[in-house]
Amino acid sequence: MKRHAFGVIAATLAAPYIGAVIFCAFIEGKLILEGKPITFLSVRDGIINLENITWEIYFLGTFGLLKYGITIFIVSLAAALIMGGRAVKAPAFVISAYTFIGFCFGSHILASFAQTPWWLLPSFMITGAICGWIYWRIATGRPA
């Protein structure tokens, strides 16, 4: 059970920062595809500044951790207890469960916008899948 707890903690800490990276990539990619100027701090005079992107990700990740960290931890712990009680060790099921959790969090967050940007929902699902993989690797004790 110790590994499961470490897996839940690692997934909880990683989720907002991975989400921020993927979220920024989705938004900037969408704006580039539409031919619109990128509105983030990462571009100044048409040149992408990696230092500003790093600060964006740090800010968004820390904000997400402070706002949703406890909720993510509780939901992840509940999922881990259910999967542990059912003796689920298949990576596909664990990753699918965390993808669903990411979908639920993404739906909740996007519901607060006036015009729901539905195209951001896959970024939350990808984040959930990556965090599910992190949890699975730690909980099952698989070597890296």
Q: What is the pTM of this model?
A: 0.81
Mean pLDDT of 43-70: 78
Instruction: Specify the higher pLDDT residue, 108 or 28.
Output: 108
Instruction: Specify the higher pLDDT residue, 38 or 6.
Output: 6
Q: How does 98-137 read in b/e, with b if 16+ C-beta sit within 10 Å?
A: bbebbbebbeebbeeeeeeeeebbebbbbbbbbbbbbbbb
pLDDT in tens, 27-49: 766 666 666 655 554 555 555 56
